[in-house]
């Protein structure tokens, strides 16, 4: 009797032990198969002034936090914007649809576009797949808070210089550059408080959140309000800590949009002090570099890039002085945003989410720093189109990897869908469009791999509407064949404008795109090869040669 009871007890004990072991194995498996979180960080106007990736960049650029992230993940040395101006670029990569597919080519509100409004943004798609989707700052150019589970702050380009009546260019910026305005015509350290001695208590620095303007307090570097980027960094850090404290099991997608180095270039004095004006090195610029290009033949002299360059030159004793002042402010702004990125990534890395969170740092496009007499974005050359693109995907990406294969922002959405194992149609209905890009997972697993399903070239478009010498007829304004195009392979850039003029650059020996080879007969086969690749991606483009 007692022996029988002991046997039953031993049997139950063994059974319970096996069941518990099975439960532990199940929980471990479930944990290992848990969908990863996503932290997406988007900068504005950040070109290739990023250290540790081996880009042409600027020798004085400092981005230790982006560099640190790149060493733990994969950096793409040849990543490009598909439309190098804010609104269409963001509408494209956050829906995963090329501008020429949707016909959302320039400043139109994306949510009114017949294709994009019937397609799911990346925020909606992740939310539909069970993610808690939280965002703050400039993500979409035309933001829609309802797309998110929760949203922090709207876009704020501030602080702005405020003269007591309106936002203006900072008074320390010489004329006529200052007259460009409160956004693009302004740069100064925060310690240079505008109109500090005018006796008007209303003048000074001012926040500039969308439709909401209010004072920005500055007494000194240690007693001031946080910049909009610092606010958004603090929001992201707080959100990570909040999720950890909650023991959040639901996967999350956090999007953080930083403004800098978008103008106005107003950041704390400590960042300007890192680049004493007399020691700032000028961007590498060749005299007469624009002579063999065709941009000026298509756009009038009031187009922003040409006008800003010309106006900066008129505002200083010489062009070098103007570029040095602007470059100092841009470099300072790059370090400032890098610090904000570091604050957010450090918070993640100190949390329990580190090993199950994909981190991405990108920019919507680059910025031309005077090359080819152009000071702005929205050109088809390297400086305006090239962007940082860094991904750390735990368990997938190779730490410290650098990929040379050209990719573009269109590949962001499908990459995150792939890495997170999301399911379902990204279209809301048949009027939407499928994703245009391709997952870059093969390059995360093996950065030197040339095997992926995507194209050999990265595609970029500039819209032909604004300031064109020969404006496109209204009925053709959304015709992809009437726009300006570029394709960038690993070694070559080919540009084709809508009048058939062409530019061809060999990056193997001309990384600054100084020598347009398009008219050289010996390069005709290469030019035709590049045009064929362009036409395969945009069939609406007409013609074979100029």
pLDDT one-digit tens code per residue, 454-483: 999 999 999 998 678 888 888 889 999 999
R_g (Cα) of the chain, nearest Å: 25
Question: What is the phi/psi pair of residue 232, to 5°?
Answer: -70, -35
Distance CA(396)–CA(58), nearest Å, equals 31
Range scoring the smallest mean pLDDT among 28-42, 150-164, 170-184, 308-322:
28-42
pLDDT one-digit tens code per residue, 236-280: 999 999 999 998 789 999 999 999 999 999 999 999 999 999 999
Average pLDDT across the chain, whole number: 92
The predicted pLDDT at position 55 comes to 75
Domains of the chain: 39-158+227-537 (3.40.720.10)
Residue 14 has pLDDT above 50, yes or no: no
Assigned token pair, 224? 């001031």
pLDDT one-digit tens code per residue, 179-229: 999 999 999 999 999 999 999 999 999 999 877 889 999 999 999 999 999
pTM: 0.93
State the DSSP string of 405-455.
S-EEGGGHHHHHHHHHT--S-SBSSTTS----S---HHHHH-TT----SS-
The helix-helix angle for 304-315 and 319-349 (nearest 10°) equals 120
CA distances from 269 to 161, 329, 335, 446 (A): 15, 10, 12, 42
Assigned token pair, 5? 């009871």
Q: Which residue has the tokens 């005299």?
A: 287
């Amino acid at each position: 009797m007692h022996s029988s009871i002991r046997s039953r007890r031993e049997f139950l004990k063994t059974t319970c032990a096996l069941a518990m072991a099975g439960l532990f194995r199940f929980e471990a498996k479930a944990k290992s198969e848990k969908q990863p979180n996503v932290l997406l960080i988007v900068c504005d106007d950040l070109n290739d002034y990023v250290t540790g990736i081996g880009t042409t960049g600027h020798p004085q650029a400092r981005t230790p936090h982006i560099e640190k992230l790149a060493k733990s993940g994969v950096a793409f040395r040849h990543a490009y914007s598909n439309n190098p101006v804010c609104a269409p670029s963001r509408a494209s990569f956050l829906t995963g649809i090329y501008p020429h597919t949707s016909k959302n080519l320039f400043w139109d509100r994306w949510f009114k576009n017949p294709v994009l409004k019937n397609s799911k943004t990346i925020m909606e798609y992740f939310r539909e797949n069970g993610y808690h989707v939280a965002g703050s700052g400039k993500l979409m150019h035309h933001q829609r808070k309802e797309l998110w589970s929760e949203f922090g702050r709207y876009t704020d380009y501030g602080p702005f210089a405020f003269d007591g009546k309106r936002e203006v260019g900072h008074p320390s910026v010489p004329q006529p550059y200052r007259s460009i305005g409160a956004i693009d015509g302004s740069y100064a350290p925060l310690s240079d408080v505008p109109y500090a001695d005018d006796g008007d208590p209303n003048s000074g620095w001012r926040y500039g959140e969308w439709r909401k303007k209010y004072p920005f307090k500055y007494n000194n570097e240690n007693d001031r309000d946080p910049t909009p980027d610092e606010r958004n960094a603090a929001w992201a850090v707080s959100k990570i800590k909040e999720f950890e404290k909650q023991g959040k099991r639901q996967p999350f997608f956090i999007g953080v949009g930083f403004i800098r180095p978008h103008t106005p270039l107003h950041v704390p004095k400590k960042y300007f002090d890192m680049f004493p004006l007399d020691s700032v090195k000028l961007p590498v610029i060749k005299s007469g570099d624009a002579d063999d290009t065709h941009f000026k033949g298509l756009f009038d002299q009031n187009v922003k890039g040409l006008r800003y360059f010309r106006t900066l030159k008129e505002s200083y004793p010489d062009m070098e002085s103007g570029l040095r002042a602007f470059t100092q402010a841009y470099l300072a702004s790059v370090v400032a945003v890098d610090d904000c990125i570091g604050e957010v990534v450090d918070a993640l890395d100190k949390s329990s989410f580190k090993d199950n969170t994909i981190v991405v740092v990108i920019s919507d496009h680059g910025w031309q720093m005077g090359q080819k007499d152009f000071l702005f974005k929205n050109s088809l050359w390297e400086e305006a189109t090239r962007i940082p693109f860094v991904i750390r995907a735990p368990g997938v990406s190779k730490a410290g990897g650098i990929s040379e294969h050209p990719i573009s922002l269109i590949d962001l959405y499908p990459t995150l869908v792939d890495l997170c194992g999301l399911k379902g149609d990204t279209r809301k209905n048949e009027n939407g469009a499928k994703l245009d890009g391709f997952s870059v997972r093969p390059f995360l697993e093996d950065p030197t791999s040339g095997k992926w399903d995507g194209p050999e070239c990265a595609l970029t478009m500039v819209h032909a509407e604004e300031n064109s010498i020969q404006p496109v007829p209204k009925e053709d304004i959304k015709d992809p064949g009437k726009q300006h195009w570029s394709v960038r392979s690993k070694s070559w850039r080919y540009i084709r404008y809508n009048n058939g003029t062409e530019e061809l650059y060999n990056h193997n020996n001309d990384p600054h795109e100084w020598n347009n080879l398009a008219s050289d007969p010996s390069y005709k086969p290469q030019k035709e090869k590049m045009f064929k690749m362009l036409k395969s991606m945009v069939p609406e483009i007409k013609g074979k040669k100029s």
